[in-house]
A and B are shown apart, each in its own frame.
Chain A
Amino acid sequence: MPLPDNPPPPAPPPGGSLDRRSFLRSTAAFAGLSALAASLSPLRELSDYTSTEQFMQKYYKEMTPDDMKKVLQRITNEVEHQYGIRPHVRDLKPMDGVEFVYALNLTRCIGCRKCVHACVAENNQSRSPEIQYIRVLKMPHGSMDVEKGNHTYDDKEVPDKGFFYMPIQCQQCKNPPCVKVCPVNATWQEKDGITVIDYDWCIGCRYCEAACPYWARRFNFTKPSIPADRINPEMSYLGNRPRKQGVMEKCHFCIQRTRAGRYPACLEVCPVGARKFGNILDPNSEVSYILREKRVFIQLKEEMGTSPRFFYYFDK
């Protein structure tokens, strides 16, 4: 073999050199492992990230009633452990012959944002940072172009002259782009028209958030924090049970209320009666009447082909 440019140490190392070399080698290995351990040290704070039961939990649609019972028990215990309140967690199923539809009267809405806060209170959203499902836009007269809307208006009194107000939340589309793009089927449309999320199945890729044309989806960028005295104990699996860090959530038409025959929280709190909700399959429902009788109603961004179940209409 020819002599290399950088001569390596002589091939058969004498005893002393061997010791030195193995010493260097173990020192390097030790230093490397210490550095690795040091770089991973933040993980010590990684408590209650997940549990074995949650990690192994089956997909919602593959769970037997027995599996679900265990899962609801786990959630109950977790909530009780974390907040000191024993919740009533159910898995409410869609009702037969029901398809929910929302109608919002833009003539009446005064932009008070009471719906925004009632929603947060009802649905156990994180308070810090606060996650809100409803965004109210303050729009200049005569335009439906959302890019002209003001998201952060802070007027002493509403309504402001020359403006109208447009609350936007999940439109519960018939052709939901968010459902199509989810790589793991963690979000889907139920029989009653509500698009739901299995918070225990979502991998947090946020592709649905990019796909939604209504900016209706929210991500838990950090561990949600809710004061214990603000917990709403009436919970449902696909609805308002507390979420974990790193998953998506959004408006689900207050599934824990509406599937038990009540109105959504945003509707109940509205001081001017701008919000109407009901079963479109029932010809005698209020929403059926509105969609039948009003001359004009609007599906936001109709050209997207998403076919929302959320309609905006006017009185005059």
Chain B
Amino acid sequence: MITATRNYLVFLRRCARIAFVGDWRYYAWMGVLTVICLLGLNAYAKQLVHGLVVTGMSDEVSWGVYIANFTFLVGVAAAAVMMVIPVYIYDNEELHDLVIFGELLAVAAIIMCLLFVTVDLGRPDRFWHLIPGIGQMNFPKSMLSWDVIVLNGYLLLNVHICGYLLYSRYQNRMPAKWFYIPFVFLAIIWAVSIHTVTAFLYVGLGGRPFWNASIVGPRFLASAFTAGPAIIILALQVIRSVTHYRITDKALLTLRAIVQVSMIINVFLLVCEVFKEFYSGTTHGASAKYLFVGLHGHHALVPWIWTAISFNLIAMVILSLPLSRSLKYLNVACVLSIVGIWIEKGMGLVIPGFIPTPLGAIVDYVPSINETLVCLGIWAFGLLCYTIFLRMSVPILQGRLAKSNEGQPEIQGDEPDTPDSLPSPAPH
């Protein structure tokens, strides 16, 4: 027992150490992220002192980019499951060794989600009121209490799966199936639930006709399964270019198929929604009108949503053509999808729900600089976390950070494992 604890602590210490070691590119990247994090922290400190008045929010538009980013990132977290399903259900070989990068992305995304919810609170000092037992959790009535449970549960599930698999690899042991496979399958269902619950957060509000529509849930999932794998496609290529970890094009193209189908479904659901809002011509379409064409001279969101729609359409066309088998075009399509869906989920879903207000007032919303800095800070922190996770996990998966080489000189940069295991000559 004592040896096991000691071994685990050594493992953690070596992981922590390697997070601070890398080449100049690594230091530059981490340095930039740290600076942005601190700027965000500074902006948040100002918000704590002066209140949410430093944001662009008001009683009319009472949620803004914080909740918008939160909603988008729940989707990114949920989308990790799109790598898990091919691997664990269809035994896809190409993705097998990559699935952990998707799960680590989910962990980073959930951390960002929790931060975005926290910065949106007026009284973060009272967060303990949410904890069952010492506080008051309005479960099962409040969808927000469901969200707290599913998000934290999903975080724990993924931390367990990733942590266990990595530690097993570190010890060069086969992971015990019973100790992670059940959790993998639970995480698949859980991933769908986090995004469904987050959609229900909006759908459950009868006083907001724009959200009170059953299509919101399916649209959330479709857009998440587009943007999430798109982010993973880009992340894998970054990993491939800065480390010597072997990632095949075939793996990327498997993910392409997922992005392709999801984007087509996503666009189809958008068409369904637009038709319903506009053809019937009821007054319940006021928010949609505000969003797509402007209402009574207010057009703040119109350029945003049309940018999003054109990005999504272009991405869909590129993804549908054989053209996108070339990584260059695939990457363009991925970037367009991510940006398009970020706008559509954020400015396109959260904000118009508040405009016009239930009493018919139209008050525009523009995020303030302070609010934007807080958002950038959280994004930088999430990227920082993901980079550290990768910095730790890649050498473990390569077998360069292992129990067997404990006590030997520690690795420094991203030196290749053994020359013959490389798919191609090292870059440079």
Contact = CB atoms under 8 A, between A and B. Distances in A.
B52 to A, nearest CB: 5
A147 to B, nearest CB: 3
A43 B49 contact: yes
Contacts of A244: 123
A219 B52 contact: yes
Contacts of B42: 38-42
A217 B48 CA distance: 22
Contact of A168 (B121, B141, B359): B359
Interface in B185-214: 201, 204-208
A106 B245 CA distance: 74
B145 A183 contact: yes
Contact of B58 (A6, A146, A204, A221): A221
B183 to A, nearest CB: 27
Given A11-B409, A177-B206, A221-B52, A6 B23 contact: yes
Contacts of A181: 141-144, 204-205
B122 A151 contact: no
A148 B426 contact: no
Interface in A201-236: 201-207, 209-215, 217-223
B203 to A, nearest CB: 12
B55 to A, nearest CB: 8
Contacts, number: 205
Nearest to B201: A207
B418 interface: yes
Contacts of B361: 151, 215
Given A4-B416, A205-B121, A219-B62, A304 B359 contact: no
B130 A183 contact: yes
Given A206-B62, A246-B122, A246-B123, A183 B205 contact: no
A11 to B, nearest CB: 5
A210 B135 contact: no
Given A177-B207, A246-B51, A4 B413 contact: yes
A306 B358 CA distance: 14
Contacts of A184: 126, 129-130, 135-138
Interface stretch (A44-52, A68-76, A85-93, A259-267): A44-52
Contacts of B3: none
Contact of B414 (A4, A42, A129, A146): A4
Contacts of A45: 49
B424 interface: no
Interface in B97-123: 117, 120-123
Interface string A111-150: 0000000000000000001000001010000000111110
Contacts of A304: 206-207
Contacts of B280: none
B267 interface: no
B359 A206 contact: no
A210 B125 contact: no
A180 B146 CA distance: 13
A146 B62 contact: no
B404 to A, nearest CB: 14
Contact of A211 (B124, B207, B415): B207
A206 B360 contact: no
Given A4-B413, A40-B45, A213 B358 contact: yes
B51 A6 contact: no
Contact of B360 (A148, A219, A247): A148
Nearest to A248: B122
B306 interface: no
Nearest to B39: A39
Given A149-B360, A203-B127, A221-B52, A210 B205 contact: yes
A273 interface: no
B141 to A, nearest CB: 5
Contacts of B52: 204, 219, 221-222, 246
Given A6-B23, A32-B34, A183 B148 contact: yes
B326 interface: no
Nearest to B361: A151
Contact of B138 (A183, A211, A219): A183
A11 B409 CA distance: 8
Contacts of B359: 135, 137, 146, 149, 151, 168, 214-215
B20 to A, nearest CB: 9
B419 interface: yes
B204 A210 contact: no
A46 B122 contact: no
Contact of A59 (B50, B136, B141): B136
Residue among B148, B358, B360 with most chain A CB within 10 A: B358
A204 B66 CA distance: 14
Contact of B38 (A35, A151, A222): A35
Interface string B139-162: 001111100100000000000000
B347 interface: no
A316 to B, nearest CB: 26
B205 A49 contact: no
A49 to B, nearest CB: 7
A5 B125 contact: no
Contacts of B206: 177, 213, 304-306
A185 to B, nearest CB: 4
A38 B42 CA distance: 8
6 contacts: A4-B412, A4-B414, A49-B125, A181-B204, A204-B52, A219-B62
Given A43-B49, A146-B358, A210-B205, 7 more contacts: A1-B415, A39-B39, A46-B49, A151-B360, A181-B142, A184-B126, A222-B51
A-B interface, 5 closest residue pairs, ranked by CB to CB distance from nearest = A204-B122, A213-B207, A246-B122, A4-B415, A147-B360
